[in-house]
Structure 1
């Protein structure tokens, strides 16, 4: 971080001033040079004079981290956060990089909005990368937001705390925390900001579904979609359509699934976002493989979606299922072996879907005549799926288990 002299020099150069121009009539060029090179300390009068000529407050020069430096740092890490993606290893590396960029500033951040935001980002990234000091930074961010009465930012922190319980698979506890936080924020602000209302609706719907309460999950989800349309707010609409389409698929309501997938595709075209179109295709591929059993059609769509692009855990899962369905067992097995569970995956729907891989591998080994391997994978699939809610995935896994293990034990 810059010293006082270095900050003065940096600001002078940013404004295109020479030493003589900044020194003016009250300072010598030589003295200003000594100050900039940290060989002399300016008096408070000289510091006020320098600040006035630079067009800033004296306190900004005295701050260990000037506002301009804070804003520059914040802009840089916000931009990095936008591009966090890829495998879980790539995401963790990105979070680690962001945390390391902020870390040298953490203990010296002044009381400002920028500081609170940096502390929030630092705590989130540090939580994911298991840095020891994430919670202290989180508490400091919340304290600054509260003193500045920034309700929306306080709400974000409340939601993040609830989702920590979700990440630990303590779904009922996470739901109770989120609902209590929502009540607190509503009491503090009188009414929720429309964007925060949609955030709370979306996460509450997810947590209801995680606890097995499909009725309330669907109710909240559909209320949020209706509210979005009524208010002409497109925030979270992509995530809500995806959630609604997937929920309809699991409920066996293919008409409603098709409706929400079509809405998702329309929104993708409207926003010119290819990634959203990819989400629609992923749901459709999943339907074709696991529910429609139209494996050739699924395989064609898989190749259209991924082609030469980097392969995700969804690719290896769905490609393996399509190959299995087409009787290409060796290729399917090779595909499943490349599948890795993403460590950021915590919803029972996602977990159950990916646990199917073990059952498919059991079926493949049985087809290839390796009954012991088939039994091992069938038992592993059963062990993984038992704590999960009753979904089509659980039914498939248990049926596979009975087919392979039940006949011999």
Structure 2
């Protein structure tokens, strides 16, 4: 954290001023140099003069953390945080190291609240204690500054923590309560925050098998986006609807939303959307159409075009495709290589990934490794037990029954 002298020097250089220019007629160049090097303590009159010369408010020099310094730290933190959340990589430690020196001396302003919010989230993702206290401080500041959209974001975050713990009904209850309170207080969230809440509420309804409620919310959100010409969350809304169509074996509806997403991917020039769509299509061909050769062709196309990190979720589909083609020895290493992504929490995603152990059980049984087959059949069953009754769960339970009967 910069000292008073360091702040003065930095502000002077940012404005292209020499020591003599800043000193002007009321300070000597030598005295100003001593102040900048923390070898002399300026009087309040001298500080007021320096602030006037720098064209800033005196408080910016007096505060232990100046607004300009705070803005710079927040800008750096926001840039790091955006990249982290976009790629789901682990750069949280760097943010914590940047913010920690300021954490006990933050003034009452937006930048401080935002830093506290990001800081607390990073501590949460790092599984460190104490993150709740900083999140509460951030919320209190937002409320006091009447920044209700930021306060709403914190409430949404808290609700989705229950989602991360697979407490789907509790998560939905918290989210709906927040929306009710905002309505009662006459608070209107901005369009982006409204769509955040709509999307989260929809996937929570799906998580507890309230599909009709979820689809109604998604339809309203899509219509709202069209009406207001907002593209935020539109890819996620289309993707969820396409996946729901796959689960219900509605090929026409699935194709309709996937085609829309292809157009959206071209418009945004976002290759990640194309990867997700090909993954969805490969999954559909494997699990619902049993077109294993078609699935494998699509999988290999992506694995040649993109790196391992971008296509790691294709491993399980490649293993399934090879298994379906009777190539058990080739399928095995791909299934063993597959890992459940750390940030997956929705029952749809979890059950798809839990199938891995069921396929491993089938292969190990074919290889005469019954104990290993039993082990993986039990892992798949135990994982799937608390989940909703989806086709994946049925497959997993059938595999378990088949293996245990032997």
1:294 and 1:201 map into 2 onto residues whose CA distance is 35
Q: TM-score, normalised by structure 2?
A: 0.96
Q: Is the 8 A contact 1:320 1:332 kept in 2?
A: yes
Partner of 2:285: 288
Secondary structure of the equivalent of 2:84? coil
* Paired residues for 1:21-36 under 5 Å: 21-36=21-36
Partner of 1:47: 47
Q: Give the total of aligned pairs.
A: 404
CA offsets 1:149-198 (integer angstroms, 9 cap, x no match): 11111110110010111111111110000000011122334433222221
Q: Is the 8 A contact 2:148 2:189 kept in 1?
A: no
Partner of 2:323: 324
1:309 and 2:307 matched: yes
Q: Is the 8 A contact 2:361 2:377 kept in 1?
A: yes
2:213 and 2:328 map into 1 onto residues whose CA distance is 41
* Paired residues for 1:103-118 under 5 Å: 103-118=100-115
* Paired residues for 1:109-188 under 5 Å: 109-188=106-185
Secondary structure of the equivalent of 2:182? helix
Q: Is the 8 A contact 1:87 1:342 kept in 2?
A: no
Secondary structure of the equivalent of 1:265? helix
CA offsets 1:27-61 (integer angstroms, 9 cap, x no match): 11111111111111110000000000001011001
Partner of 2:194: 197
Which ranges of structure 1 fall in alignment gaps of 5 or more residues? none
Partner of 2:247: 250
Partner of 1:384: 383
Secondary structure of the equivalent of 2:97? helix
Instruction: Provide closer, same or farther for how the CA distance between residues 87 and 336 of structure 1 changes in structure 2, counting only shifts above 3 A.
Output: farther
2:150 and 2:184 map into 1 onto residues whose CA distance is 15
TM-fit CA distance, 1:306 = 2.6
Q: Is the 8 A contact 1:102 1:122 kept in 2?
A: yes
Which ranges of structure 2 fall in alignment gaps of 5 or more residues? none
Secondary structure of the equivalent of 1:56? coil
2:291 and 2:372 map into 1 onto residues whose CA distance is 27
TM-fit CA distance, 1:10 = 0.9
Partner of 1:276: 273
TM-fit CA distance, 1:85 = 6.0
Q: Is the 8 A contact 1:358 1:378 kept in 2?
A: yes
1:50 and 1:190 map into 2 onto residues whose CA distance is 43
2:272 and 2:33 map into 1 onto residues whose CA distance is 54
1:279 and 1:81 map into 2 onto residues whose CA distance is 23
2:403 and 2:94 map into 1 onto residues whose CA distance is 46
1:80 and 1:328 map into 2 onto residues whose CA distance is 44
More displaced, 9-18 or 174-183? 9-18
2:362 and 2:55 map into 1 onto residues whose CA distance is 74
Q: Is the 8 A contact 2:92 2:125 kept in 1?
A: yes
